[in-house]
Structure 1
Amino acid sequence: MRYIFKLFFLISFVSYSQEKYLTPFEKGNGNQSTTYEECIAYYQKLDSAFETISVKEMGKTDSGEPLHIVIFNPDKQFSFPQINKDKAVILVNNGIHPGEPDGIDATMMLMRDLATKKVSVPKNTVLVAIPVYNIGGSLNRNSYSRANQNGPEEYGFRGNARNYDLNRDFIKTDSKNSKSFQEIFHLVNPDMFIDNHVSNGADYQYTFTCIATQHQRLGGKLGEFYKTEMHPEIVKDLQKKDIESVPYVNIHGDKPDEGFAQFMDTPRYATGYTTLFNAIGSVPETHMLKDFASRVKVTYEYMVSSLNYVDKNYKKIKALKAENLENYKVGNLYPLQWEIDSSKVSTIVFQGYEGDYKPSDVSGKPRLFYDRAKPFTKNIPFYNDYKATKEVVIPGYYVVPKSQWTILELLKVNQIEMTEIKNDTVIEVESYKIADYKTSKNPYEGHYGHYNTVVTSSQEKTGFRKGDFLIKTQQKGVKYLLETLEPEAVDSYFNWNYFDPILQQKEYFSAYVFEDLAKEILDKNPTLKAEFEAKKKNEKDFSQNGDWQLDWIYKHSPYYEKAHLQYPIYRIK
């Protein structure tokens, strides 16, 4: 009798708590998302009511408002050094694109349901959430910027307070949001990272799709485990809840039933960044054309399934995460650039709608449409593997001069260990020259970025000053160092314009004066003169252009500035 009474009391308490702590979404009509102010106030209410919930104010954002993190730990302990010793951590990021607010509302309900024990409470896992990452975009509330999306009635804007797309800013770090995220990430040290989104693109039957971070970029046994065990098991658990899912449909505008590829999340993206520190990453992408309430539900259930899986397998996940660093030893090859490996193709079941073309009512030209009266289920090709097209040997150290303070600040935010050189010294290093690069003709997220970068390298003895920094690669941030400091990497600091001053000559010559000096240089250097004459003989355009010839001699003389195209970060093997 006493047991029945206790059970009745517990059920009544949970029911009362659910009613008392309804979210703005739950109080609405199913098509309304919380405002930023309502969201933070709600979490503060949970913090006051439950000892298992803690809300902490973190770093600033471009909006001037601070980020927050919300922590659920059934042990009522919120010190992350201690948490990381004993438990796994899942970090959830919401509202990076506030026009895609599903995760904001779903996470509010999940935190409450964990606190009230409506859902199974994890024993070995702590859940941490950033309630709204793009605060400036959330405050820019409207009903029109997501023209193709089915609800909610109002939502935020994709750009942040300075109009940056924050899901392109994780490496280049133009925003205060990004710096604050990096501080949060390294404080929390998550084992799994979830970044909640809503898709754009084709029409199909699924409400839920997901970008499971590219397993080869995650690397080693950890990547294989995520690809073959962890993610499939989470998908199976969703199926038990009658939620079918498919990999993120990585096409825009064309029909997906011809097959598509796994999305390659380079470090500009959230999971591309978190992968650099061996955190398993996923990006839920609910389907924009499904109703808002359904999208919130599947986002909620995905987080629950992920939480349950991590809680059961936390020891294995943490062990694989630690072991993964062994793949990045000095002398090993590290991939900097990738392309789809078309020789490796799998088959997935895809539930779509027949697509066709018909005349547009606006232009009269052929337009794509999907016929929801004609659903289909078919096997389609899925390209889940990439191959490296450019690799680099992992060095033992990088040397970063103290003059490169913008880079050093970012390395420090990302907790990269550095040793200050105590005295002026000469070190034998591998030195890069920028041999070639292309630059975008159009602006992209505040930059005219570089691509197809090529370097040449040489061994030389170089002088360094007291206060310059020696950075060993054998540390937790080894992949971060390689992706940012190697110029040929897709999202390197060079490609994001951090070193553009080296691309411009600061000194030059007056031709009428240099003519005499050029002759003197050639006369004193027979080897250079022979090379010059051979070039004139073999290259017609060069032989007919006096300016080119003077420029060539200048660039092969001591008068040519060493800083031009000299990459100012060095490697020690």
Structure 2
Amino acid sequence: MRFYKLIIFLFSISVVAQNKFVTPFEKGNGNQSTTYEECISFYEALDEAYSTIKMVQKGTTDSGKPLYLVLYSNNSQFDYEGENANKKAVILINNGIHPGEPDGIDASMMLMRDLAMGKVETAKNTFIAVIPVYNVGGMLNRNSHSRANQNGPEEYGFRGNSRNYDLNRDFIKSDTKNSRSFQQLFTELKPDLFLDNHCSNGADYQYTFTCIATQHERLGNQLGNFFITDLYPTIVKDMQHKKIDVVPYVNVHSTTPDKGFEQFTDTPRYATGYTTLFHTLGFVPETHMLKAYKERVKVTYEFMISSIKYADANVMKIKQMRQDAMKDFQPGMNYPLDWTIDSTKVSYIDFKGFKGDYKASDISGKDRLYYDRSKPFTKKIPFYGDYKPSKNIKIPTAYIIPQSQWQVLDLLQLNGINYSQLQKDTIIEVESYKIESYKTSNSAYEGHYSHYNTTVSKSIKKLKFYAGDYVFSTNQTSVKYLLETLEPEAVDSYFNWNFFDPILQRKEGYSAYVFEDLAKDFLTENPKVKAEFEKKKKEDKAFAENAYEQLDWVYRQSPYYEKAHLQYPVYRIK
């Protein structure tokens, strides 16, 4: 009799424990998402109840609230540098970067609970870290209307953070405390696999789950091939076994996908573009906005399970491939700064869509796009998922950055980039860049009027550097971060994000009536410059008619023209 009472007692404890950890999403009708307070309280209770779960604060956010990280380890060991880092696959899962897309927030709560309770047995060799809510301020800004093109949940957060930044554009420029905290925890964890859970915008189609698999070419030859031919297809196959179709993120807006579409370009401003710089294998699950919220949460959960399952079974392979990736990024090798779609390489998808058509708008009377869900179809469409380099540079052996550029140096150190400092004043031969041309956006974008189409000229100089100036060797794991931020022509370089805008403005000038006589003397003393000047006047009519442009041209050739103007203050050692 006592035995049966004990069984009933233990069973009742188990039931109570399981009921305690039913999530707000599960308590509802499938169309409710947790609040921020409910989410954090849930993880606090999970941490208290299970030794395999630990919740820690990792810095702060623009909201003033901390950035939390929830860890799962089956051996209850949470040392990043110990066994978990060396013998386990490390997976980082990010949620709520856009809190209006809360699918991952709710799915991860169930995932971590199921891991803690032993309902999921695919993480014996995997250390799992979950950011419950990345954009805390956005999640606190709870509403029901900011996602006009999304089918549930009933309430959700807002895309912008507390300062109205889109955090999925802030991984290089780091204008937010959120981003700075993320970079610190990321460089501590050094994850092998990264998932950033989202919900899509764009076209209508039959799929509930789409996925951005990071542009594999950015990972290098070896790691990229492994990612696109082994890791990703295996995870997709596992999803298909669960009767969940996976299709590349349908990168189509304001038109229909019938004629095919291209792979999304995740440059380093985006989450997976950033994580790729550290040889981390990244995915952005994108559930379809118009599908029921209950189904979106389910497929997000299952993709995380499939990813953990692969990582758990292939720990050493993943770690070895990431280590070997360094062979593709050595000094003297070519490095692509920009990419373009390779239209010669095309694959075909048996795409499950809905017929798209046009009809008169009730608002404007003009043609508007609509999808007819009574007319589903499956047909082969082209998918362009391969890129080719459109601009290359040679990887230098090192970069030298004067200590005056403290804002850039601060970010490099924040991202764990290794460096040394000069111990004494030293003259060093370097490759120097001059900014030759660039364009600037006409409207504000994420707090910046950013530059693009930047070009530089190069020269070899012997320059004096001072004790305390910084030297960043490219012989380190983070070499790609250095290249993508310090090369001005890179799409998301520090230059293009306005970190060096002071060099674009002259600090000295001249009064024309004074410089006229100096200019005349300078041309007389420099016949080669004078010949070039006369030639330009003959060949360029507009120049010949513009007195100011002519005098300014002479000024720029003269010793009076300041050296700092357009001089890029980061130098390469070949």
Superposition TM-score tier, normalisation by shorter sequence: over 0.9
Partner of 2:51: 51
> 2:169 touches 2:269 (CA, 8 Å); kept in 1?
yes
Residue 470 of structure 1 corresponds to 471
Shift of residue 262 of structure 1? Answer: 0.7
1:505 is matched with 506
Identity %: 64
Shift of 1:40: 0.6
For 2:279, give the aligned amino acid.
N
Which deviations, in whole Å up to 9, do the C-alpha atoms of 1:95-135 show, x marking residues without a partner?
00000000000000000000101121411101100000000
Amino acid in structure 1 at the alignment position of 2:90? V
- Is 1:444 the counterpart of 2:445? The answer is yes
Q: Secondary structure at the match of 1:303?
A: helix
Residue 202 of structure 1 corresponds to which residue in structure 2?
A: 203
Residue 229 of structure 2 corresponds to 228
Deviation at 1:221, TM superposition (A): 1.4
- Structure 1 residue aligned with 2:171: 170
Q: Distance in 2 between matches of 1:384 and 1:109?
A: 33
* 1:14 Cα offset (Å): 5.8
Deviations 1:293-313 (A, max 9, x none): 110000000000100010001
Deviations 1:350-407 (A, max 9, x none): 1011111111122111111111111111111000111111100000000000000000
SS in 1 for 2:337: strand
2:22 is equivalent to residue 27 of structure 1: no
Q: Residues 5 and 395 from structure 1, CA distance in 2 versus in 1: closer, same or farther, beyond 3 angstroms?
A: farther
* Aligned pairs for 1:393-432 within 5 A: 393-432=394-433
Distance of 1:292 and 1:563 partners within structure 2: 56
2-structure distance, mates of 1:111, 1:9:
25
**What TM-score, normalized to structure 2?**
0.97
The answer on whether the counterparts of 2:151 and 2:290 sit within 8 Å (CA) in structure 1 is yes
Classify the secondary structure of the residue corresponding to 2:392. strand
Kindly indicate whether the alpha-carbon contact (under 8 Å) linking 2:151 and 2:292 is maintained by their aligned counterparts in 1.
yes
For residues 53 and 100 of structure 2, the distance between their equivalents in structure 1, rounded to whole angstroms, comes to: 27
User: Any idea what SS the aligned residue of 1:206 has?
Assistant: coil
- 8 Å contact 1:14–1:116 — kept in the other structure? no
Q: What is the RMSD of the two structures over their aligned residues, measured on CA atoms?
A: 1.6
- The residue aligned with 1:147 is 148
Deviations 1:257-313 (A, max 9, x none): 110011110000000000000000000000000011110000000000100010001
* Counterparts of residues 65-144 of structure 1 (less than 5 Å): 65-82=65-82, 83-144=84-145
Q: Which residue of 2 aligns with 1:61?
A: 61
Which deviates more, 488-497 or 250-259?
Answer: 250-259
CA displacement 1:519-560 (0-9 Å, x = unmatched): 111111122122212222222222222211111111001100
- The separation in 2 between residues aligned to 1:543 and 1:438, in whole angstroms, is 25
> How far did residue 20 of structure 1 move?
2.5
Change beyond 3 A, Cα 1:155–1:558: same
Show CA shifts across 1:195-241 (max 9, x none).
00000011100000000001001222111111111111111111111
Equivalent-residue separation in structure 2 for 1:272 and 1:535 (angstroms): 44
Note the C-alpha offset of 1:501: 0.5
Displacement of 1:317: 0.5
User: SS at the partner of 2:160?
Assistant: coil
Q: Does 1:539 align with 2:522?
A: no
Cα offset, 1:508, TM superposition: 0.7
**Match for residue 494 of structure 1?**
495
Answering whether residue 37 of structure 2 is matched by residue 37 of structure 1, we say yes
- Alpha-carbon distance in structure 2 between the residues aligned to 1:526 and 1:263: 54
Whole-Å Cα distance in 1 between the matches of residues 46 and 480 of structure 2? Answer: 38
Q: Is the 8 A contact 1:14 1:118 kept in 2?
A: no
Deviation at residue 28 of structure 1 after TM alignment: 1.5
Secondary structure of the residue that 1:357 maps to in structure 2? strand
Q: Report deviation, 1:509.
A: 0.6
Paired position in structure 2 for 1:518: 519
Secondary structure at 2:147's aligned position in 1?
coil
C-alpha distance in 2 between matches for 1:209 and 1:344: 21
Deviation at 1:9, TM superposition (A): 9.9
Aligned counterparts of 2:382 and 2:489: Cα–Cα separation in 1: 31
User: What number of residue pairs does the alignment pair up?
Assistant: 570
Whole-angstrom distance in 2 between the partners of 1:11 and 1:201: 48
SS of match in other structure, 1:429 = strand
Corresponding position of 1:387: 388
Deviations 1:473-520 (A, max 9, x none): 110110000000000000000000000000011111100011111111
User: Secondary structure of the equivalent of 1:177?
Assistant: helix
Alpha-carbon distance between aligned partners in 1 of 2:323 and 2:572, rounded to the nearest angstrom: 25
State the secondary structure of the residue aligned to 1:267.
coil
TM-score by length of 1: 0.98
- Residue 45 of structure 1 deviates from its aligned partner by 0.1
Match of 1:358 in 2: 359
**What is the Cα deviation at residue 72 of structure 1?**
0.5
Whole-angstrom distance in 2 between the partners of 1:56 and 1:227: 34
Partner SS state of residue 490, structure 1: coil
The answer to whether the 8 Å contact 2:217/2:387 transfers is: yes
**Residues 122 and 312 in structure 2, CA contact (< 8 A), matched pair in contact too:** no
Q: Are 1:17 and 1:116, in contact at CA under 8 Å, matched by a contact in 2?
A: no
- Residue ranges of structure 2 left out of the alignment (5+ in a row): none
Question: Residue 81 of structure 2: SS of its match in structure 1?
Answer: helix
SS in 1 for 2:218: helix
Q: Alpha carbons of 1:384 and 1:569: their partners in 2 closer, same or farther (altered >3 Å)?
A: same
Contact preservation (8 Å) 2:122, 2:305: no
Distance 1:10 1:207 in 2: 40
* Closer/same/farther in 2, CA of residues 29 and 542 from structure 1, 3 Å limit: same
The offset of 1:11, in angstroms, is: 8.3
Q: More displaced, 130-139 or 227-236?
A: 227-236
| Map of 1:373 onto structure 2 | 374
Letter in 2 for 1:26: E
Contact persistence 1:205–1:351 (CA under 8 A): yes
Does the C-alpha gap of structure 1 residues 272 and 202 become closer, same or farther in structure 2, counting only changes over 3 Å? Answer: same
Quote how far apart the aligned CAs of 1:29 are. Answer: 1.7
Partner of 1:329: 330
Q: Secondary structure at the match of 1:81?
A: coil
* Cα deviation, residue 17, structure 1: 3.4
Q: Structure 1, residues 440-466: CA drift from partner, whole Å, max 9, x if none?
A: 001100010000000000001111111
